[in-house]
Protein backbone atom coordinates (compact mmCIF):
# COMPACT_ATOMS: atom_id res chain seq x y z
CA UNK A 1 0.00 0.00 0.00
CA UNK A 2 1.51 3.35 -1.01
CA UNK A 3 1.23 6.52 1.06
CA UNK A 4 -1.88 7.89 -0.65
CA UNK A 5 -3.62 4.53 -0.38
CA UNK A 6 -2.76 4.46 3.33
CA UNK A 7 -4.10 7.97 3.83
CA UNK A 8 -7.33 7.13 2.02
CA UNK A 9 -7.82 4.01 4.16
CA UNK A 10 -7.31 6.05 7.34
CA UNK A 11 -9.90 8.54 6.12
CA UNK A 12 -12.52 6.33 4.46
CA UNK A 13 -11.97 2.90 5.95
CA UNK A 14 -11.10 -0.43 4.36
CA UNK A 15 -14.48 -1.70 3.22
CA UNK A 16 -14.73 -3.00 -0.36
CA UNK A 17 -16.66 0.14 -1.35
CA UNK A 18 -14.02 2.38 0.20
CA UNK A 19 -11.25 0.46 -1.57
CA UNK A 20 -13.09 0.69 -4.89
CA UNK A 21 -13.66 4.44 -4.56
CA UNK A 22 -10.09 5.08 -3.44
CA UNK A 23 -8.75 3.19 -6.45
CA UNK A 24 -11.03 5.15 -8.77
CA UNK A 25 -9.93 8.48 -7.29
CA UNK A 26 -6.26 7.58 -7.60
CA UNK A 27 -6.84 6.51 -11.21
CA UNK A 28 -8.36 9.92 -11.87
CA UNK A 29 -5.51 11.78 -10.15
CA UNK A 30 -3.00 9.83 -12.24
CA UNK A 31 -4.61 10.51 -15.63
CA UNK A 32 -1.91 11.13 -18.26
CA UNK A 33 -3.13 14.60 -19.28
CA UNK A 34 -2.49 15.97 -15.77
CA UNK A 35 0.77 17.73 -15.02
CA UNK A 36 0.08 19.98 -12.03
CA UNK A 37 -3.38 18.77 -11.00
CA UNK A 38 -2.11 15.25 -10.35
CA UNK A 39 -1.46 12.88 -7.45
CA UNK A 40 1.54 14.95 -6.37
CA UNK A 41 -0.76 17.95 -5.93
CA UNK A 42 -3.24 15.81 -3.99
CA UNK A 43 -0.48 14.69 -1.61
CA UNK A 44 0.72 18.28 -1.22
CA UNK A 45 -2.77 19.50 -0.33
CA UNK A 46 -3.17 16.72 2.24
CA UNK A 47 0.25 17.61 3.68
CA UNK A 48 -0.76 21.26 3.92
CA UNK A 49 -3.99 20.33 5.71
CA UNK A 50 -1.80 18.50 8.24
CA UNK A 51 0.45 21.56 8.59
CA UNK A 52 -2.60 23.71 9.27
CA UNK A 53 -3.34 21.56 12.31
CA UNK A 54 -6.44 19.77 11.08
CA UNK A 55 -6.97 16.71 13.30
CA UNK A 56 -6.99 13.40 11.43
CA UNK A 57 -10.35 11.64 11.82
CA UNK A 58 -12.51 9.29 9.74
CA UNK A 59 -14.70 10.97 7.11
CA UNK A 60 -13.19 14.40 7.80
CA UNK A 61 -14.98 16.63 5.28
CA UNK A 62 -11.90 18.78 4.61
CA UNK A 63 -9.74 15.79 3.67
CA UNK A 64 -12.55 14.18 1.69
CA UNK A 65 -12.95 17.45 -0.20
CA UNK A 66 -9.20 17.47 -0.87
CA UNK A 67 -9.50 14.03 -2.47
CA UNK A 68 -12.43 15.12 -4.62
CA UNK A 69 -11.59 18.75 -5.41
CA UNK A 70 -9.83 18.04 -8.73
CA UNK A 71 -11.08 14.48 -9.20
CA UNK A 72 -12.62 15.61 -12.47
CA UNK A 73 -10.08 17.68 -14.34
CA UNK A 74 -10.49 18.72 -17.96
CA UNK A 75 -8.91 22.18 -17.70
CA UNK A 76 -12.29 23.94 -17.52
CA UNK A 77 -12.37 26.14 -14.39
CA UNK A 78 -15.75 26.14 -12.71
CA UNK A 79 -17.03 23.22 -14.74
CA UNK A 80 -14.37 20.92 -13.27
CA UNK A 81 -15.27 21.90 -9.71
CA UNK A 82 -18.97 21.34 -10.30
CA UNK A 83 -18.34 17.94 -11.84
CA UNK A 84 -16.01 17.00 -8.97
CA UNK A 85 -18.63 18.07 -6.41
CA UNK A 86 -21.25 16.01 -8.25
CA UNK A 87 -18.91 13.01 -8.18
CA UNK A 88 -18.54 13.36 -4.40
CA UNK A 89 -22.31 13.60 -4.02
CA UNK A 90 -22.81 10.47 -6.09
CA UNK A 91 -20.07 8.33 -4.55
CA UNK A 92 -19.81 9.16 -0.84
CA UNK A 93 -23.24 7.81 0.21
CA UNK A 94 -21.99 4.31 -0.66
CA UNK A 95 -19.52 4.65 2.24
CA UNK A 96 -22.36 5.38 4.67
CA UNK A 97 -21.16 8.98 5.00
CA UNK A 98 -23.87 11.12 6.60
CA UNK A 99 -25.86 13.44 4.39
CA UNK A 100 -24.52 16.46 6.27
CA UNK A 101 -20.91 15.44 5.57
CA UNK A 102 -21.68 14.77 1.90
CA UNK A 103 -23.16 18.24 1.51
CA UNK A 104 -20.21 19.80 3.33
CA UNK A 105 -17.79 18.01 1.01
CA UNK A 106 -19.73 19.23 -2.01
CA UNK A 107 -19.71 22.79 -0.68
CA UNK A 108 -15.98 22.70 0.00
CA UNK A 109 -15.15 21.31 -3.44
CA UNK A 110 -17.17 24.10 -5.07
CA UNK A 111 -15.36 26.64 -2.89
CA UNK A 112 -12.03 25.75 -4.51
CA UNK A 113 -13.24 27.53 -7.65
CA UNK A 114 -13.02 30.89 -5.87
CA UNK A 115 -10.84 30.25 -2.78
CA UNK A 116 -12.95 32.86 -1.01
CA UNK A 117 -14.50 31.40 2.14
CA UNK A 118 -16.80 33.49 4.27
CA UNK A 119 -15.48 34.82 7.60
CA UNK A 120 -15.80 32.10 10.21
CA UNK A 121 -15.79 29.27 7.66
CA UNK A 122 -13.05 27.22 9.33
CA UNK A 123 -13.32 24.21 7.03
CA UNK A 124 -13.32 26.40 3.95
CA UNK A 125 -10.33 28.40 5.16
CA UNK A 126 -8.26 25.26 5.76
CA UNK A 127 -9.04 23.69 2.39
CA UNK A 128 -8.52 26.90 0.41
CA UNK A 129 -5.22 27.65 2.15
CA UNK A 130 -4.02 24.08 1.60
CA UNK A 131 -4.93 24.25 -2.09
CA UNK A 132 -2.99 27.51 -2.52
CA UNK A 133 0.00 26.58 -0.35
CA UNK A 134 2.02 25.85 -3.52
CA UNK A 135 2.08 29.60 -4.19
CA UNK A 136 4.29 30.03 -1.13
CA UNK A 137 6.97 27.56 -2.20
CA UNK A 138 10.63 28.27 -2.94
CA UNK A 139 11.45 29.97 -6.27
CA UNK A 140 12.36 26.61 -7.82
CA UNK A 141 9.20 24.97 -6.51
CA UNK A 142 7.07 27.83 -7.78
CA UNK A 143 8.76 27.76 -11.21
CA UNK A 144 8.04 24.02 -11.47
CA UNK A 145 4.42 24.64 -10.45
CA UNK A 146 3.98 27.40 -13.06
CA UNK A 147 5.52 25.22 -15.78
CA UNK A 148 3.23 22.33 -14.88
CA UNK A 149 0.17 24.59 -15.00
CA UNK A 150 1.22 25.64 -18.51
CA UNK A 151 1.44 21.98 -19.50
CA UNK A 152 -2.06 21.38 -18.13
CA UNK A 153 -3.26 24.05 -20.55
CA UNK A 154 -1.05 23.03 -23.47
CA UNK A 155 -4.13 23.13 -25.72
CA UNK A 156 -4.45 26.89 -25.15
CA UNK A 157 -2.41 29.22 -27.44
CA UNK A 158 0.36 31.21 -25.77
CA UNK A 159 -1.34 34.61 -26.04
CA UNK A 160 -4.63 33.34 -24.66
CA UNK A 161 -2.91 31.45 -21.87
CA UNK A 162 -0.84 34.50 -20.87
CA UNK A 163 -3.96 36.66 -20.71
CA UNK A 164 -5.92 34.10 -18.71
CA UNK A 165 -3.05 33.33 -16.37
CA UNK A 166 -2.42 37.04 -15.77
CA UNK A 167 -6.08 37.48 -14.84
CA UNK A 168 -5.84 34.65 -12.32
CA UNK A 169 -2.68 36.10 -10.78
CA UNK A 170 -4.18 39.59 -10.60
CA UNK A 171 -7.24 38.21 -8.82
CA UNK A 172 -5.14 36.31 -6.33
CA UNK A 173 -2.84 39.27 -5.71
CA UNK A 174 -5.88 41.46 -5.04
CA UNK A 175 -7.26 39.01 -2.47
CA UNK A 176 -7.01 40.38 1.04
CA UNK A 177 -6.25 38.14 2.75
CA UNK A 178 -4.81 35.66 0.29
CA UNK A 179 -4.63 33.02 3.04
CA UNK A 180 -7.44 32.73 5.54
CA UNK A 181 -5.81 30.91 8.46
CA UNK A 182 -3.22 32.42 10.78
CA UNK A 183 -0.79 29.62 9.96
CA UNK A 184 -1.32 30.01 6.23
CA UNK A 185 -0.67 33.74 6.37
CA UNK A 186 2.44 33.26 8.47
CA UNK A 187 3.90 30.42 6.41
CA UNK A 188 3.00 31.29 2.84
CA UNK A 189 1.49 34.72 2.22
CA UNK A 190 4.53 36.99 1.77
CA UNK A 191 6.41 34.45 -0.36
CA UNK A 192 3.30 33.72 -2.42
CA UNK A 193 2.78 37.41 -3.23
CA UNK A 194 6.42 37.72 -4.27
CA UNK A 195 6.25 34.60 -6.45
CA UNK A 196 3.05 35.67 -8.19
CA UNK A 197 4.24 39.23 -8.75
CA UNK A 198 7.39 37.88 -10.39
CA UNK A 199 5.40 35.55 -12.65
CA UNK A 200 3.01 38.35 -13.59
CA UNK A 201 5.92 40.64 -14.50
CA UNK A 202 7.38 37.93 -16.74
CA UNK A 203 4.01 37.28 -18.39
CA UNK A 204 3.56 40.97 -19.14
CA UNK A 205 7.07 41.08 -20.60
CA UNK A 206 6.19 38.18 -22.87
CA UNK A 207 8.66 35.76 -21.31
pLDDT digits (tens, 9 = 90+) for 83-103: 999 999 999 999 999 999 999
Half-sphere exposure of 19 (CA within 13 A, CB side): 4
Q: How far apart are CA 125 and CA 67, in angstroms?
A: 16
Q: Do the beta carbons of residue 53 and residue 183 sit within 8 Å?
A: yes
**Residue 59 predicted with pLDDT over 80:** yes
Q: Please state, rounded to an integer, the average pLDDT across all residues of the chain.
A: 96
pLDDT of 162 > 80? The answer is yes
Domain range for residue 70?
3-204
3-state helix, strand, coil in the chain (%, to 5): 70, 0, 30
Task: Give the number of domains in the chain.
Answer: 1
Average pLDDT of the residues in 174-201: 97
Length of the chain in terms of residues written: 207
Record the pTM.
0.95
CATH at residue 57:
1.10.1300.10
d(CA 12, CA 58): 6
Average pLDDT over residues 51-76: 95
pLDDT at res. 1: 60
Say if residue 75's pLDDT is above 90: no
Quote the pLDDT of residue 44. 97
Q: What is Dmax (Cα atoms) for the chain? A: 53
pLDDT, tens digit, 9 for 90 and up, residues 27-52: 999 999 999 999 999 999 999 999 99
Grade residue 206 by pLDDT with cuts at 50, 70 and 90: confident
Strands (E), 52-167: none
Residue 128 makes CB contacts below 8 A (sequence gap 6+) with 111, 112, 115, 116, 117, 180
pLDDT at 205: 87
Amino acid sequence: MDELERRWAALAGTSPEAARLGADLLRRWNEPHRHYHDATHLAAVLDAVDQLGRPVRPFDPVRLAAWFHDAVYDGEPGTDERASADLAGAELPALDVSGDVVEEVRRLVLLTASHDPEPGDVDGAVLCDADLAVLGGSPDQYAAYAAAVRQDYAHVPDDAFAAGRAAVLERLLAADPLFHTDTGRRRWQDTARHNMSTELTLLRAGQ
